[in-house]
Amino acid sequence: MRKRVIVAALAAMMAVTGLAGCGGSGTGKKEAKKNIEVPTEPFGDTIKYDPSVEINGGKDITVELWEWGSDELF
């Protein structure tokens, strides 16, 4: 009898926990969206890349990678 009560209580707690995630997060009030103007033209220096043109005179390029704090991973 005691095991059934414990199992029923656990099942009820699991059901309440599962259904709690289905509830609404808001209070029902919706705020009006603000119109934010975003520039459509690129600003600053833009880079144009043509993959058919050799870079660095056709020589290999060396890339250096830096990381901090996890020397033991490598």
The residue that leads in pLDDT, 34 or 73, is 34
| 27 token code pair | 């209070």
Is residue 61 within 8 A of residue 55, CB to CB? The reply is: yes
pLDDT in tens, 52-64: 888 888 899 898 8
Cα distances (Å, whole numbers) of residue 42 to 37, 46, 52:
14, 7, 24
pLDDT in tens, 8-50: 999 999 888 888 777 666 666 777 778 888 777 777 777 777 8
